[in-house]
Structure 1
């Protein structure tokens, strides 16, 4: 039988009807059964598309013109939306974004986890899905001998130089980035050139406390000695009284990792503080802290509801970070043990426990998959295990440890539906049952979705 070649050719222009949307926000249309993925197209629409890449089983296209649109299509409020790639869904109504995320989770559970009957609830959204990010990291470059700041274009290191503002970050962050750029430009501080590995100013990072309104500026430089740095700091602190802290981070390496190992406080405090649901957190330049505290509270409320604590339980929080979930749980549990591989996060967690006068939470540095079997051998039997792993999901050793420990309940907080579905399958095969999953929109206007899953030991 002759091999069928794709029904389209590169650079061909075609009419396409879209029937679905992918997890990364591209429209999916088919021509004679051959799938084409086209960014910014929405299901139910018809469009003129230019074919830009043809593979054996699927291809990619570029949207030229929408010929029949749906009412969920909206005008993106950001003037660099189509250049930037930081957000992927501003062309879609917020209701449609929430529906898409719920469907994405439901599809992953069925397709990857073979979990046909697990209820996936409607995504919990935000009343105002803009200006929610409390942290921004913006690269610095040069154009026409002037400093420029802006995010990179997708899959490149070209800075979008006409980016006036980022409408998903706190407005104070916008103003602070602009101020550092303007003053540094006037003082003649050079931007970093990554190809030649020379120049000074690499990134400007701003962190803000949503509740406290405290603000930290982190100036990321290639070397420690920076001409006119003192003048920059003096002008910033005199012009902007709301500033709490100005920090320098030194990153001498030829790398695209933003922060280097060494950090020093140039003026003000080492930490800014913020609060979620009455719990205080100390946040340093390098602390991991949720970027959307409004939605974090909704996510953690759900985790608490699923843990269903009455005050007599022992809880293990694997991947505990700076203790965000642990401290919530400690208010309702008898004892919480947190474990995390990053030593700085554990010292932050201990500080945060002290800050909140919480004495029933203990924190340990180590790999959860190694620490938990050791705890089991020491006779620790938790009633509840909470996991909040990175995007790659739980380590197999950790899942084995949970299956061995047989807690009554597992609460799984996930930032990746695919690895969540894979891990739920392993827990199901190990004697647990997934009761329900609640998606939460932590990152409106983007394709990311967080989930909280309630899992119980089968009787």
Structure 2
């Protein structure tokens, strides 16, 4: 029999002493940790114990007996249930402090680099309405096609019309498309038996251009009557330049399938970064916070410290956004991207902007860098912007062997950043500073830019 200091379904009073990296309040009862959603340090809360595990448990807020000075009114309680805005109850200044502390913690505990300066997180003037892309699930609720978001850790849809962290024009577009689909009795997807048709509505909007792309994710290629649906969407949303149908017949959590059907325009829209035009396809990766992207890329420019004489390698280059913004200050930019379609998009974006000193190839950076050295192309600066899993071990090894003067590391995961920085320091680099950037206000996600120099 387990002798825990709390029991499931018990009601107790606790003091919140900390926040986890996921933004949950931490309380301890005789040393036993309880994690509690919607709870902030300094608060006294009456909770119901929901779950008791071997090492920790979970609780639910019943009553806030003493409130934190950093607590603010929430936009919508449903956002906590679905996980869209897990920090919406925390004042924005405190969110930035929380994110800075998260980066400092991993630099100390994981990287073992406590002396590296971690600067204050760069935030937004208005930390709402920033997302330029939405992927909204569609289901049948109360015998009606509904859009919204899934309850956390489930696929139970909670109907929502306003997401607040998205561009308001995108919220409006989703509602208009939903209503058009209802008008023509389009069957929403039923996940339990893999029937129905409309799975997701995806909307992208250019922050600077206002251009809009609509992607309708369906289970089957049939979307009847497209001859009426498409004109109705264009009438309701005249800024739409592209409508794409993507077919995903599999019973899966993955949103996009392999088949794409063009319904209107081309499979692309345009937005700008620092005045440069970028073509974005339905499948392209493109930073979702356009305002903070420019803040982050400015920091990349600062750390790269280009004089016009440098060879720059943009590893994980995607559609070329970082490399092309650096090109005017570099001798030459070489972009490497594992996804062939994205590398082709980068080449197209170079031509679109009349940039002639940038070359993009499809492949692995850890293989491309040695080939450059063999061809007497020695990078002075390497930019890395990996996915959440961080750098491949083989690329870390290659960077150490290649010995560029500077590495600028753009990260979306502090834990893997810290792991990689420790390896690069061991290999002869010095971390000069780390600059967190808040690309995802109201959430616990943290981007950062780090500068490393060869010792």
* Structures share fold, TM-score greater than 0.5: yes
CA contact (8 A) 1:317 1:386 kept: yes
Match of 1:408? 405
- Three-state SS of the structure 2 residue aligned to 1:151 is strand
Match of 1:61 among 59, 62, 70: 59
- For 1:127 and 1:82, how far apart are their aligned partners in 2? 23
Counterparts in 2 of 1:4 and 1:202: CA distance versus 1, 3 Å: closer
Tell me how far apart the structure 1 counterparts of residues 31 and 375 of structure 2 sit (CA, whole Å).
58
Q: 1:302 aligns with which of 279, 299, 305?
A: 299
Give the corresponding residue for 1:274: 271
For 1:374 and 1:413, locate their aligned partners in 2 and report how far apart those are by CA, in whole Å.
Answer: 24
Point out where structure 2 has 5 or more consecutive residues left out of the alignment: none
Taking structure 1 as the reference length, the TM-score comes to 0.97
8 Å CA contact retained: 1:6, 1:57? no
Report SS of the residue matched to 2:404. Answer: coil
Could you tell me the TM-score, scaled by structure 2's length? Answer: 0.98
| Counterpart position of 1:220 | 217
Specify the SS of the correspondent of 1:71. Answer: coil
Secondary structure at the aligned position of 2:213 is classed as: strand
2:242 matched residue in structure 1: 245
Residue 368 (structure 1) aligned to one of 345, 349, 365 = 365
> What SS does the aligned partner of 1:399 have?
helix
Deviations, residues 7-60 of structure 1 (Å, cap 9, x unaligned) = 222222221111111110001111222221111110111111222222222222
Q: Which residue number corresponds to residue 26 of structure 2?
A: 28
**Corresponding position of 1:293:** 290
CA contact (8 A) 1:5 1:56 kept: no
Answer yes or no: is the 8 Å Cα contact 1:40–1:91 preserved in 2: yes
Q: Does the CA-based 8 Å contact 1:102-1:120 persist in structure 2? A: yes
In structure 2, how many angstroms separate the alpha carbons of the residues matched to 1:220 and 1:88?
A: 27
* Residue segments in structure 1 that go unaligned for 5+ positions in a row: none
* Aligned twin of 2:162: 165
Is it true that 1:38 corresponds to 2:42 in the alignment?
Answer: no
Q: Which residue of 2 aligns with 1:18?
A: 16
SS of 1:238's partner is helix
2:316 — aligned with what? 319
Partner residue of 1:352? 349
After superposition, what is the alpha-carbon deviation per residue over 1:169-213, rounded to whole angstroms, capped at 9, x for unaligned? Answer: 111211111111111111111011122111111110000000000
> What corresponds to 2:138 in structure 1?
140
Displacement, 1:4? 8.7
Match of 1:155 in 2: 153
Alignment counterpart, residue 343 of structure 1, candidates 340, 343, 346:
340
Alpha-carbon deviation of 1:269? 3.2
Distance 2:348 2:141 in 1: 43
What's the offset of the Cα at 1:79? 4.9
Aligned equivalents of 2:7 and 2:375: distance in 1?
64
2: CA distance, partners of 1:80 / 1:49: 19
SS of 1:266's equivalent in the other structure is: strand
Q: Which moved more, 1:369-378 or 1:250-259?
A: 369-378
Q: Does the CA contact (< 8 Å) of 1:78 and 1:167 recur in 2?
A: no
